[in-house]
Amino acid sequence: MSDDWNTYRTRSLIRAKRLTEYVSFTDPLGRTHSGDPGDYLVQAPDGQLRVTPQQVFEDVFVTSSLKRFVEKKALTRNSSS
């Protein structure tokens, strides 16, 4: 194995919800997805759904503070007027 490391980042914002029960479905491409309670149902920007195991999801993703940032900027702008 090479000693060289590559750097990666996620490409876009996603939406996700934590599963509270077992779920299984087939996506439009014919792939079967399933997840247990605690796993995450992830929606990509193009609307595709997939299931990501809890440990992987929580290691990779962090909650976006974009909504709070936008709200804070709006409050700051309004109070400056």
| Tens digits of pLDDT across the chain (81 residues) | 778 877 666 667 888 999 999 999 999 999 999 999 999 999 988 899 999 999 999 888 877 766 655 556 566 666 655
* pLDDT attached to residue 8: 66
Q: Are 42 and 51 in contact (CB under 8 A)?
A: yes
Which residue intervals of the chain are DSSP H helices? 54-60, 66-80
* pLDDT attached to residue 17: 94
* pLDDT attached to residue 73: 59
* pLDDT attached to residue 10: 66
* pLDDT attached to residue 59: 87
